[in-house]
Structure 1
C-alpha cells in the first residue's frame, strides 16, 4: 500500500493505551498510518459523518457503550469499513461472535506489538476489500441478469411460453447463486478460523459459479438475438477438416475424468470455404458434447464430415440413452429436455442454439433417435463461394 494511505479511527477511552497504539504505528516501517482518536462511541459516529477512514480500531469498554453492542451502530454508519476489535479479554467465544457481527479481526491488548498491530490492520482492510468486491460483483451480476432477462421478455409476446421461459431461467440461476451466497457467508463468518487452502477452495467455487451463470446468460442472449433476427452470419475463409479435428482434440481435453472415444472421418477433399467459425463451433461443439454427455463411460462417438459439390454434411452418432419419440417434436425449443435425462445436468439451450446457428448458415438439421439405442444428428450446410477439391 502507498505511504500515508491508511487513515485510522481509534475509539479508546484509555489515554495511555491510545498513546501506546499511536507509538506502535509511528514505529511501523514507512510510517504509513494517520490516526484520529476519540474516547466515546458517539464521538466516533459523528466523525464518520464528517470524515472518511480506512479502518476502525474499537475498544469494547467505552463510557457510552459496552461490549459488542458498539458494532451495530458502526456498521450501520459505515457498512463497508473494516473494524478491528481491541479487548483485554482472551475470550475465543467473544472473538468469534465479534467476527460474526461484522468485525474483521480481534486483538488482545496485552499480546499486542508493532508487527501484530500492522499485520492485523492490513489484513482487515484486504479482507474487507475482497468482501466488498464480491458484494459489488453479486450486485452487478444481478443487474446483468435483470437486464438480459428484460431483453428476452421484450422480444417475446405475452404468452405461456414466455412465462415458462423466465421460470426456467430463474431456476437455472438458483444453484450458482446459492453457491456464491453460501461461500461468501461462510468466508465472512469464519474468516479468522479458515486456512488459506479452504479460503481458496471457496473462492474457486464462487468463480466457477459466476462463470456458469455468465455462460448461461451468453447462451440466452444468443437465443434472444436469433429470435429478433439479429444473429449475424460473418463468414471467413476456413478449412473444415483441420477445424473439426481441432474441435475433437479440445473436447477430449476438456471432459475431465470421463473416458470416451471420438472416431472422426472425412470424405471428399474439402478446400477452404466461407464459414462462420463462431456459429460452427456452437453447432458442432454442442452436438459432440451432448453425444459424450448422454453416452455411457468408455463409449464411442462417430463424427463424419462429408464434402459434396454444393453442400457439406456433418453427422454425429452415439449409442447413448437416446431421445423418446414424443420428445423429439420439441427438441429444438429453448429449455426443453427429454424426459429420460434423469439427473444428467443441462439447461436445455444447447440444441436450440444449434438450430439457430444452422438456420443462420441457411442449412438444415435432422435427428434420428431411439430411447436406449442412440442418436444421430445430421447437419447439412450449403457451400458459399467455396471450392471443393477433386481428384
Structure 2
C-alpha cells in the first residue's frame, strides 16, 4: 500500500461513549492514519491549540462550557485556518447546517456514519479548506492588478461561488439524507429480520444497492469536480509501483478470478503521485471489470517511445511526437466499437449496458481531466471481443502543469 499520511485530529466531545466509538472508527480506516487528541471541554481544547497544530477539528456544539453556534465561533477565533467538521445528533441537524453556513466544512450525524464516510468527510474538509485558502490568496493578488485583471477576478469569484454551491448540495442535500436512509434500512433489518419473507428481502436488497450506487455516484462527482482545483505536487513518480499496488487490491476484490498482470519495471513520469494513482486505479479497475467474462483476466501496463511507428495517432487524429513517451494499460476484455470512441471521456456516457457492468460513467472523464491538467493526451484503441488499450502521455516538464 502507499505511504499513509498521518492526519492530526482535535476531537472536542463531552460524551465519552461517542468519543470512543469515533476513535475506533478512525483506527479501522484503510485510507489514512489518524492521531487523535480528545477534550471534553471547549476551554481545554482552545488552551491546547496554543501549543499544538492540527489538520482538522471534530467539534460537538453542545458542551458543558459552551452551547450552540458560540462553540464554533469561539474556537474559530483560535483556529481560523483549521477545517472544522461538526458532530451532531439527529435533533440538532438544523443547528449543524447553520454552523456550516458560518464556516464549518461539513457535519456528521452521530450514529449515522461508517469509517469510510467519516474518513471521506475529514479528507474532503481538509481539501476544501486548502482550496479556499488558495482561492483567497489568488484573489488578493488579482486585486492588485489592473482593471482587466479585476474583471477576471470577478469571473473567478462567480465560478467559485457556483462550485461552492455545487459542493454544498452534493455534500449535504444528497449525501447526508442518503446516509440517514442507509442507517434506517440497517435498523429495520436488524429489528425485523425474523419477519421478512423472500420478497421483503429482495426489496431491501434493491434499496441497499440503490443507496450504494447513489453514494458511489456522489463520491465520483465530488472527485470529478475537485480534480482541477486540488493542489498538485510534481515529482518523479514510479507508475509501476502504483500499478502493482492497485492490481494487488483488485486481485483481492475479484478473488474468484485469476488475474495475470504484466507490469513493465520502473515506468517513470514527472507528475502528481496522488492524481496518477487515480488515473491508474480507474484504468486498471476498468480493465479487470470488463474482462470478467474471460476465463483468465490479462492486464498489461507499459510504456514506449514512438520511434518504430511514424503513423501512430490518437482518437483526435493528432500524430504523437516521435520522441514522446506514451504509457498504456491493455486488457483482454469485451472491448468496444471504435465508432463510439468519442463518447469514452464524456461524463455519464457509457458504451456498455449498466446492468451488465456496474459503474457511474464518470471515471474516464476524471482520468481525462487529470491527464489534460498534466499537459498530456489520452486515447484508446479497441475491438469488440478482443480487449482494449488505453494510451496516455505526460510531458516531462513542470511548466505544463497548472497548479
Q: TM-score, normalised by structure 1?
A: 0.45
Question: Which structure has the bigger radius of gyration?
Answer: 1
Q: TM-score, normalised by structure 2?
A: 0.44
